[in-house]
């Protein structure tokens, strides 16, 4: 067992410390902190997605479903019954976990494109329901959370910095969960499932259970992010919270641009993409509607073509880096120096 801290891990811890200190150095009510909070939230979302998308390589294009379930559950419980979003967020997580389990049954055999399509359709189902079942969901106009001033017990704060720290804490928790999963027995099993499902089964891996567990955990964390998002933005509607490109694809894209299946990938991806989008929005949306989204799409295309293993591949010590170097020289049946040694 290697227990020592790798350089990457040290870097990550330093990042968390620096991130925690950020509100002391910038305007605590300012735009910059909002953007930073959004970047961290998207990092947490991408990390949640990474649990199934990266470790098991089940490419979901429907995680907006769980995100929206989290936002709707906590917000409706609060608006209708006055239940604090702190409690509502766990109700949302439970509901999302349940939905993920339900979805696992029809989709567990599906791979690659088919899985992506089925999950995409699932999020669409929820979007349609949220739009049309207006008596419960409020319909297409969406839901707004009344501003109450600072009420910590009701997850309401005046200062952006409070949300920022909550989001950072959530990110740390999701990262911790990811690492525990990746390094634990289930991490081995998930990677086995990812790489060869039949071989995994024959080697004794209960592939259905492993995927089910990962999807449930992933969905629950995504739903937590949904609640936090709702509290942070005060307002959401079905089309934005269950959005394909706005939520589902963006979660996946951040993980991919950063480095699929790696611990640092979603953070690097979010720190790279969210500010970039923000800048693009600020400077380009005045130029022409759609330009910043166009850039977003173009970056995704470019990222896939330039380095499918993500930004993490440029960190030479990482596994992604090693694999990327291997990708670069395809035909190398390099025999290790030592033969079987019998």
Partner 1 sequence: MATHGAAPILEASGVAVTFGGLKAVDKVSFTLRPGEIVGLIGPNGAGKTTLFNSLVGLQRLTAGEVRLNGEKVSGLKPHRIARKGMTKTFQNAALFPDMSVTENVMTAALLRHDLAGARAKAEQVLERLGLTAIGDADVSDLTFPQKALVEMARALATEPKVLLLDEVMAALTPTEMDDVMAVIRSLRDEGLAFLVVEHHMRAIMALCERLIALNFGQLIAEGSPTDVANHPTVIEAYLGAGAAEAAHA
Partner 2 sequence: MVQALVDGVLLGGVYGVIATGLSLVFGVLGVVNFAHAEFLMLGMYVAWFAWRYLGLDPLLGSVLSFIIVFGVGYVVQRTLIERVLKAPPAAQVFLTVGLLIAIENAALMVFGSEFRSVSVPYQVEGYRLAGIFISAPYLYAFAAAVILSAALWFFLDRSWTGRAIRAVAQDPMASALVGVDTKRTYGLAFGLGVALTAFGGAVILPYITVSPTIGGQFVVLMFTVVVLGGLGSVAGALVGGIVVGVVQSMSALVFPIQLQNLCLFVIFIAVLALRPQGLIKGA
Binding stretches for partner 2 (CB under 8 A):
53, 57, 59, 61, 105-107, 109-114, 116-118, 120-122, 124-125, 128-129, 131-132, 244-245, 249, 252-253, 256, 260, 288-291, 293-294, 296-301, 303-305, 308
Picked from partner 1, partner 2, none, the partner binding residue 283 (CB below 5 to 8 A depending on kind) is: none
* Residue 334 C-beta: closest distance to partner 1, Å: 5
Q: Is 56 in the site for partner 1 (CB under 8 A)?
A: no
* Residue 128 C-beta: closest distance to partner 1, Å: 35
Beta-carbon contacts of 299 under 8 Å, excluding residues fewer than 6 positions away, are: 257, 273, 276
Work out which of 6, 132, 150, 196 binds partner 1, going by CB under 8 A: 196
> Phi, psi at residue 235, to the nearest 5°?
-150, 140
Q: Which is nearer to partner 1, 95 or 193 (CB)?
A: 193
Distances in Å between the Cα of 259 and the Cα atoms of 47, 171, 264, 319 are 11, 17, 7, 10
Token duo for residue 321: 């880096």
Picked from partner 1, partner 2, none, the partner binding residue 293 (CB below 5 to 8 A depending on kind) is: partner 2
Q: Which is nearer to partner 1, 153 or 339 (CB)?
A: 339
Work out which of 97, 200, 249, 273 binds partner 1, going by CB under 8 A: 200
Dist. CA 316–CA 174, nearest whole Å: 25
Q: Is 111 in the site for partner 1 (CB under 8 A)?
A: no
Dist. CA 45–CA 285, nearest whole Å: 25
Specify the residue for token string 């098991």. 56
* Residue 85 C-beta: closest distance to partner 2, Å: 28
* Residue 305 C-beta: closest distance to partner 1, Å: 21
SS3 of residue 143 by DSSP = strand
Q: Is 37 in the site for partner 1 (CB under 8 A)?
A: no
Picked from partner 1, partner 2, none, the partner binding residue 173 (CB below 5 to 8 A depending on kind) is: none
Q: Which is nearer to partner 2, 17 or 288 (CB)?
A: 288
Q: How many Å separate Cα 286 from the centre of its chain?
A: 29
Picked from partner 1, partner 2, none, the partner binding residue 330 (CB below 5 to 8 A depending on kind) is: none
Distances in Å between the Cα of 330 and the Cα atoms of 9, 255, 323, 326 are 30, 24, 11, 7
Beta-carbon contacts of 110 under 8 Å, excluding residues fewer than 6 positions away, are: 118
Instruction: For 312-325, give the DSSP string.
Output: GGGSTTSHHHHHHH
Q: Which is nearer to partner 2, 40 or 300 (CB)?
A: 300
Q: Is 201 in the site for partner 1 (CB under 8 A)?
A: yes
Beta-carbon contacts of 58 under 8 Å, excluding residues fewer than 6 positions away, are: 52, 111, 115, 211, 214, 215
Instruction: For 33-65, give the DSSP string.
Output: HHHHHHHHHHHHHHHHHHIIIIIS----S-THH
Picked from partner 1, partner 2, none, the partner binding residue 206 (CB below 5 to 8 A depending on kind) is: partner 1
Dist. CA 207–CA 198, nearest whole Å: 9
Token duo for residue 216: 């449930």
Q: Which is nearer to partner 1, 34 or 179 (CB)?
A: 179
Residues 315-334 that bind partner 1 (CB under 8 A): 323, 326, 333-334
Contact residues: partner 1, CB under 8 A: 1, 184-185, 188-189, 191-192, 194-196, 198-208, 323, 326, 333-336, 338-342
């Amino acid at each position: 067992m290697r227990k020592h801290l790798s350089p990457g891990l040290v870097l990550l811890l330093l990042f968390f410390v620096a991130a925690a200190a950020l509100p002391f150095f910038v305007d605590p009510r300012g735009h910059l902190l909002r953007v930073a909070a959004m970047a961290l939230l998207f990092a947490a979302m991408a990390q949640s997605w990474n649990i199934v998308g990266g470790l098991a390589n089940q490419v979901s294009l429907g995680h907006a479903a769980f995100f929206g379930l989290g936002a709707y559950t906590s917000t409706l419980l609060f608006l209708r019954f006055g239940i604090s979003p702190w409690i509502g967020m766990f109700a949302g997580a439970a509901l999302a976990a349940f939905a993920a389990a339900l979805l696992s049954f029809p989709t567990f055999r599906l791979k690659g494109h088919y899985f992506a399509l089925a999950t995409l359709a699932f999020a669409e189902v929820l979007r349609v329901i949220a739009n049309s079942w207006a008596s419960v969901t409020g319909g297409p106009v969406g839901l707004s959370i009344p501003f109450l001033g600072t009420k910590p017990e009701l997850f309401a704060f005046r200062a952006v910095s409070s949300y920022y720290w909550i989001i950072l804490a959530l990110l740390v928790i999701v990262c911790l969960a990811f690492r525990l999963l990746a390094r634990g027995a289930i991490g081995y099993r998930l990677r086995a499932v990812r790489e060869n499902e039949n071989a995994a089964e024959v080697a004794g891996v209960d592939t259905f259970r492993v995927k089910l567990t990962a999807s449930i955990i992933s969905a629950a964390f995504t739903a937590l992010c949904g609640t936090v998002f709702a509290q942070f933005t005060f307002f959401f509607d079905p089309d934005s919270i269950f959005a394909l490109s706005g939520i589902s694809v963006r979660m996946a894209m951040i993980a991919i641009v950063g480095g699929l299946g790696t611990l640092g990938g979603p953070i690097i991806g979010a720190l790279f993409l969210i500010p970039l989008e923000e800048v693009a929005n600020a400077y380009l949306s005045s130029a022409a509607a759609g330009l910043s989204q166009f850039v977003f799409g173009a970056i995704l295309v470019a990222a896939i073509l330039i380095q499918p293993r993500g930004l993490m591949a440029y960190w030479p010590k990482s596994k992604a880096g090693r694999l990327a170097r291997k990708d670069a020289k395809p035909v190398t049946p390099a025999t290790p120096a030592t033969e079987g040694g019998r």
